[in-house]
Amino acid sequence: MKKIIIAGNWKMNKTQKEALKFLQEFKSNLEEVNGTREIVLCAPFTALGIMSKSQYGGGIRLAAQNIHWEDKGAYTGEISGAMLTELRVNYVVVGHSERRQYFGETDETVNLRMIAAQNHGLTPIFCVGESKSQRDAGETETVIINQIKRGLVNLDQSNLVIAYEPIWAIGTGYTCEAIEANHIIGIIRSQLLNKEVSIQYGGSVKSSNINEIMAQPEIDGVLVGGASLDPVEFARIVNYQ
């Protein structure tokens, strides 16, 4: 049975104080129906500890936004699996296009980070997606299949979430048509050994388009950026019908 996972990726936003305020407001806007949906917040490292201890954190899973492949050592600015599991983190976002674009992540480092996550009992949220120029050149399928093949080497597909995030739809207000996202996610699934992996869509998801996105048969959840920063708006997304 595929899990429905609605995740908010806060990126480099929210202090500890702001994160706690968010949790309180978000919780008061959630509806009962949410028992069947897993809610995940991908918070900055500095907010994870306090969020896992918060009285408003119940029923919400936490994700980190990075993990290093080594367990410890001289890797300034990186974070290890043990540092995350100590904070009761369940997921870790790996291979986000912003990490690939601005911080030199490659399919190989993405793969190493995901293996480390699994070795520590964390579930990687593996992001893939094509750029606008790749899409315009008709290369979407090739790009995605290559990212999937290279990223998943030696990975355990029973402990994995994938997020399809077309780069041209991130933070731009342009959402990929739900039917197109469904089609690409179907292609991603065709590359997997485990067909039950939950595959999310990400890119300008809002309360106004969530129903249409979640109505698609291949789409098992969403990874929300900007709209997850507002507790009322993110609750509306989680409460989709």
Write out the catalytic residue numbers. 96, 165
User: Which residue among 66, 111, 204, 207 contacts ligand 13P (CB under 6 A)?
Assistant: 204
Establish if 202 lies at the interface with ligand 13P (CB under 6 A): yes
Sign of the dihedral defined by the CA atoms of residues 136, 65, 11, 32, in that order: positive
Mark residues 9-48: x for contact with ligand 13P by CB under 6 A, - for none. x---------------------------------------
DSSP, residue by residue, 43-107:
--HHHHHHHHH-TT-TTEEEEES---SSSSSS-TT---HHHHHTTT--EEEES-HHHHHHS---H
Query: Do the strands 4-9 and 37-42 form a parallel or antiparallel pair, or are they unpaired?
Result: parallel
User: Looking at this protein, which amino acid is placed at residue 27?
Assistant: K
State which residue, 68 or 99, has the beta carbon closest to ligand 13P.
99
Mark residues 122-161: x for contact with ligand 13P by CB under 6 A, - for none. ----------------------------------------
Establish if 203 lies at the interface with ligand 13P (CB under 6 A): yes
Establish if 188 lies at the interface with ligand 13P (CB under 6 A): no
- Counting every residue written for the chain, the total comes to 241
Q: Which of residues 208-237 bind ligand 13P (CB under 6 A)?
A: 223-227
Per the CB < 8 A criterion, the answer to whether 119 and 154 are in contact is: no
State which residue, 121 or 171, has the beta carbon closest to ligand 13P.
171
State which residue, 148 or 164, has the beta carbon closest to ligand 13P.
164
Structure tokens at 61: 């899973």
In whole angstroms, give the CA distance from residue 126 to residue 52. Answer: 22
Establish if 205 lies at the interface with ligand 13P (CB under 6 A): yes
Q: Which of residues 155-174 bind ligand 13P (CB under 6 A)?
A: 165, 170-171
Q: Which of residues 69-108 bind ligand 13P (CB under 6 A)?
A: 96
- The closest of 75, 119, 118, 67 to 93, measured between CA atoms, is 67
Q: Which residues pair with 201 in a beta bridge?
A: 164, 222
Nearest residue to the partner ligand 13P, using Cβ: 225
Residue 219 CB, shortest distance to ligand 13P, in Å, is: 14
In whole angstroms, give the CA distance from residue 93 to residue 41. Answer: 10
Site of interaction with ligand 13P (CB under 6 A): 9, 96, 165, 170-171, 202-205, 223-227
